[in-house]
Amino acid sequence: MTTMKHFIDLADIQADEILDLLDLAASLKQNPKAADSQRLAGKTLGMIFAKSSTRTRVSFEVGMYQLGGQALFLSTQDIQLGRGETIADTAKVMSRFLDGIMIRTFSHQDVLDLARYGSVPVINGLTDLMHPCQALADLLTIKEYFARLAGLKLAYLGDGNNVAHSLLQAGAKTGMHVAVATPHDYACDEKIVEAACEAANKTGGKITVTADALEAAKDADVIYTDTWISMGQENEKAERISIFGEYQVNEHLMSLAKNHALFLHCLPAYRGLEVSEAVIDGPASKIFDQAENRLHAQKAVLVRLMES
């Protein structure tokens, strides 16, 4: 049984807890109408959105409904955070009403402060630094196809962003070889890479950081990319397209991976930029299985944090 109090950063979660979440997610996916499916009956999740969302909002709302609870959508303009109320006051007030809080926002510190000042579980739905819910769904997808995680190679190509950070943590904790290829000025946070290397040393995993997309893709079991232009970076679009061009996942790059390699993308995707149409709509692409697994992985997190 987990000792998790929050789901904020995979670096803070033990390897056996991650595997437990994956097992529970698989069980919930296989038996969505099982007798114990209403495990959060009477529970309410507050969902704070400072960033717009498709998959995060829908999957958490549906997940709470399927577990017998309910979710409240709260944009920052709907609550007093949008008018300057502190995170501390918001956390204390919402803890009196809710059984859990999910937040999707810019600053990672906001999530940490919600957990610090509140008294209910806090889930990181995304920050500029981390995206642990996405990484957990990615692990679930990979495990479904390969029946294991340890020993597999995942190559991530593109921007060293929140998704890359959480994939480094997830892979390191589960004994995978994670190879990240980014332009030099868009590399992953050095401290996160160092922590991932330490975790990989304990699990038999491996971390590779390079600027060479072809090197990272060689013999990979999974090829992964994300948009080059995240929310808030729209004014950098032209510059980023020029810089990231050689990191596009296309047929040539996929040919360097193993024959059975999967293609993953956390979505939304921009065909013709970070990935070619032939790859994302081809037989190796499992992006919609991956998107669906956000629901099942997050249901597992909700159960472990909010079931009493």
The vertex-71 CA angle with 65 and 76, nearest 5°, equals 155
- CA 159/CA 224 separation, integer angstroms: 11
| Catalytic pick among 39, 104, 108, 296 | 104
Which sign, positive or negative, has the C-alpha torsion 266, 140, 260, 211? positive
Q: For residues 128-147, give the mean pLDDT.
A: 98
Q: For residues 231-257, give the mean pLDDT.
A: 92
- CA 57/CA 76 separation, integer angstroms: 14
Q: Are residues 140 and 284 in the same domain?
A: yes
- Residue 102's SS3 state is strand
Residue 196 falls within a domain, yes or no?
Answer: yes
**What's the mean per-residue pLDDT of the chain?**
95
| Catalytic pick among 6, 9, 39, 134 | 134
Q: For residues 255-263, give the mean pLDDT.
A: 98
Q: What is the pLDDT of residue 76?
A: 86
Q: Are residues 146 and 217 in the same domain?
A: yes
Calculate what percentage of the chain has a pLDDT beyond 70: 98
| Catalytic pick among 266, 296, 298, 304 | 266
Residue 251 falls within a domain, yes or no?
Answer: yes
Q: How far is CA 143 from CA 26, 162, 292, 293, 295, in A?
A: 10, 22, 14, 11, 16
- Residue 25's SS3 state is helix
- CA 289/CA 291 separation, integer angstroms: 5
Calculate what percentage of the chain has a pLDDT beyond 90: 90
> Is 184 labeled as catalytic in the residue annotation?
no
List the domain range (segments joined by +) for residue 225: 134-290
CATH code of the domain covering residue 77? 3.40.50.1370
Give residues with Cβ within 8 angstroms of 143, minimum separation 6: 22, 26, 149
- CA 257/CA 255 separation, integer angstroms: 5
Residue 49 falls within a domain, yes or no?
Answer: yes
| Catalytic pick among 6, 265, 294, 304 | 294
> Is 226 labeled as catalytic in the residue annotation?
yes
On whether the CB atoms of residues 277 and 248 are closer than 8 A, the answer is no
Q: Are residues 98 and 180 in the same domain?
A: no
- Domains: count for the chain: 2
> Is 266 labeled as catalytic in the residue annotation?
yes
Helices (H) and strands (E) in the chain, counts: 12, 9
Q: Are residues 39 and 121 in the same domain?
A: yes
The pLDDT-based confidence of 137 (bands split at 50, 70, 90) is very high
* H runs (alpha helix) in the chain: 15-30, 55-66, 87-97, 108-117, 132-146, 162-173, 190-203, 213-217, 237-244, 251-256, 277-280, 287-306
Q: Are residues 196 and 125 in the same domain?
A: no
Residue 1 falls within a domain, yes or no?
Answer: no
> Is 23 labeled as catalytic in the residue annotation?
no
The pLDDT-based confidence of 77 (bands split at 50, 70, 90) is confident
| Catalytic pick among 226, 240, 296, 298 | 226
The vertex-39 CA angle with 292 and 28, nearest 5°, equals 35
Residue 4 falls within a domain, yes or no?
Answer: no
Q: What is the pLDDT of residue 36?
A: 67
Question: What tokens were used for 244?
Answer: 């990231």
Residue 3 falls within a domain, yes or no?
Answer: no
Residue 75 falls within a domain, yes or no?
Answer: yes
**pTM for the full predicted model:** 0.96
